[in-house]
Structure formats: structure tokens, C-alpha cells
Amino acid sequence: MKHIGVLSLVLTVATAAVCAEEYGPARGQIDPASCEESDNDWAENALARSLSSPLGLPLVPHPPDNPPTIEKIELGRKLFFDRRLSINKTMSCAMCHVPEQGFANWELRTSVGVEGRSVKRNAPTLVNVGYMEVLFHDGRDLALETQFVAPMVARNEMANPSVGTVVAFLKTQPEYRALFDATFDAPPSLDRIGMALAAYQRSLVSGNSDFDRWYYGGDSASMTPAQQRGFSVFTGKADCASCHLIDEDAALFTDQLFHDTGYGWTREQDRQNPPSTTRVQAAPGVYFDVPAAMVASVSGPREADLGRYEVTEDPADRWKIRTPSLRNVAMTRPYMHDGGLTTLQEVVEFYNDGGSGHARQDPRIRPLGLNPGEIADLVAFLQGLTGSSLNCLAAEARSAPPDNH
């Protein structure tokens, strides 16, 4: 690993400064202290939530062989926060999927694993992940019960030599032996780890947004006039709803398919032809143009990212990425699969410009001709998709101290 110097610190602080500037208290933050639930009943609430359908969302689909229970959810949360499940006992699932940041990570464009090793993609939110039919940006896994294996053994994430070593560690811990016995009447095993983690993640449900109360609940006052105009842009001129689906009774805001928006191709051109300088924001409104060579001296080379192709090796899948849900999108920045866009305004402007325009780009990505007012209305609409339970999801997550001793 290369030395992380002062410049790396500046880059990290700069990213946090952008988040603070764009999304300070005036823009709304996730505040666990505002949740009225008590610590004693968090698991009961989580179970009830995973078995219900909040306004705007369907029932969470649970596999027949892994029905949720309070015991599974409690065990899954403990595993999710346990740093001891990484090679050097420093990295947990929650360090990339931060509860107070929408179970995503606002502060880093791409995730950082053990010993500062860089990951080439942004950490997606886990809120409403139970509805997803395919997982990861490239769809490389199909079930929450098995999804956890990849980050546990990836060298630039939790870096375990095998999942077998994780199972062996859990078997040495009396508290885990007792919890697995109480939950499954069996000792720790690979499949039981996955079942518990999946049960916890499927309890991270958040609907009942301003949009839901307006569109599904008939509350005409829950969306501002600008947001209502933005909905018309979303479903009309911008045609966002052709991929971010809205159904009659519920809206996941994703077709769960893979598309080439032109963004991945553009990022690869940038990687192959880097600029001579990199603009760094050191504080709100304070920028420095740093020589690219200086950035390269404290970082590893940026990896190519071919999207879905890395799973299928089908040339037709180059640059394709799974359509993300737009629920809670105002609380899960930065955006795109590599976190390359900081604000919703930048995202809308990218699509308004028509993506990259390269030959194999999805034909729906085209110049939209939105005027500044329509762009502002569309951004306002997206800010109305934040669910009502994010504060309580974060509070429940912090009901017990993490296991990192």
C-alpha cells in the first residue's frame, strides 16, 4: 500500500466539505435522536416493518427457507457491525454502509477497505435492498443470503483469506455460539451467517415519502408545486420513469435491469486520457488545481470498470450498470456507480446533455432540452422521495455498541 500523505487527507476533507456545503442541516440530515422508538423494542419494530408494506412500497419478498424472526434480525445486526469479521479486526459492513448516511457513504466517492485499499465503486444504499432482484452495481449476486461473501473475501474490502476463517472465528466466540444456537438451534455456519445478515437487511425498509403521501395517499399538500411540476418532467419530457418505474400501487423507481447510459464509457475515456491537473475543494468555495502527478504519487492506478461485462463477459454488456432505485436518493450521495457526481443537479445535467452519445449508449439517453426551471423542478421532485423511517433505521442500528474489541 502506498503512503497516504497530506494530499490524501486534503482530498478526504474536501469531499466531506462538499457534502457539508450541499447537504447541511438546512437540506435535511438523518438524525437518529429524533426517532421516538425505544432501544428495547427495536427488533420487534424491525420485524414488523419487514413484514409490512409502507405507503408506496409492496411487501418485502422473503425466501421461503429464510422467514424473518426477531432472533435473526438481532444476530444479523450484530454481524453487520462487527469489525472482527475482517482480516485485521478493523472493518465491518457498517463502515461502508453507514446508518446515519442512508446506509451508504456520503464522504467517499468510492469505498475504502482494510488498510486504506481503494474500491473502484461507490457503496450503494442498503435501504430497501430487500426488494432488489440483483445485487451490486453489476448484478453479480442474486440473493442477500450469499451477497456478503464477496466483500468478506475481497482483498480491498474485508480481506479475509476465506469465509471459512470467518466461520471458524465465530465458533470460538461464546456469545456467537449462544446466539446461533438460540436463533437456529445450530452452530455458526456459512449459510446461517447469510440468513441472519439477510434478515436484518430486509428490515431496512423506508417508504411513506412526501411523494407517496401525494401520489398514493391523496395528500395534495405533501408535495410542493415545484415537486409536482418535477413529477411531470420525470414522467414526461425527461422520460426518467421508463427505467425508474412507478406502478399503480407501489414504486421501486427501478426496472432492475442493466443499461448503458454513456457514463461508464465517458469515465473510461477520462481514465485513459487524464487531465494534467485535478481540482480539489479544500473548503466550501476554496479550490486548488493540483498536478495529476501529485495525486498519482499518493494513490494507486485507477482501475477500468466495464460494468455488467465483468459478470457476463458478453461484449453487449460493456458499460451497463443496474438501474438504481431513486428512493431516498437525496440522502445517498454521491451519485453514479463510481460516485463521480456530487449533487442531484449534476446528475440531471448529465442526462439533460444526453450522456456521452457513444454508439452503443441506450437510445433513451438523449439530449432532453430541459430549461433551468425544469431542471430545478426535477431536482425538487427527487428530494421528495426520502422515506419517513430513515431516522429510526439509524437509531435502531445504534441501539447497541459495535463489536470491535
pLDDT digits (tens, 9 = 90+) for 318-328: 999 999 999 99
Taking only the tens place, the pLDDT of each residue in 31-89 is: 888 887 655 689 999 999 999 999 999 999 999 999 999 999 999 999 999 999 999 99
Per-domain residue ranges of the chain: 31-206+387-397
Cα separation values, 140 from 150, 165, 224, 312, Å: 10, 23, 39, 9
One DSSP character per residue, 143-164 reads -HHHHTHHHHH-TTTT--S-HH
CATH superfamily placement of domain 31-206+387-397 = Cytochrome c-like domain (1.10.760.10)
- At 28 the pLDDT is 56
- What gap in Å lies between CA 69 and CA 55, rounded to an integer? 23
Q: From CA 405, how far away is CA 401, in angstroms rounded? A: 11
- Going by C-alpha positions, the residue among 217, 258, 262, 229 that lies closest to residue 382 is 229
pLDDT value of residue 402: 64
Given this model, what pLDDT does residue 293 score?
87
Statement: residue 27 has pLDDT above 50? no
pLDDT digits (tens, 9 = 90+) for 203-242: 999 999 999 999 999 999 999 999 999 999 999 999 999 9
pLDDT recorded at residue 21: 39
pLDDT at 405 over 70: no
Query: Is 291 in a helix, a strand, or coil?
Result: strand
Contact 133, 142 (CB under 8 A): yes
Residue for grid cell 425544469: 374
Q: Where are the beta strands (DSSP E) in 195-268?
A: 258-259
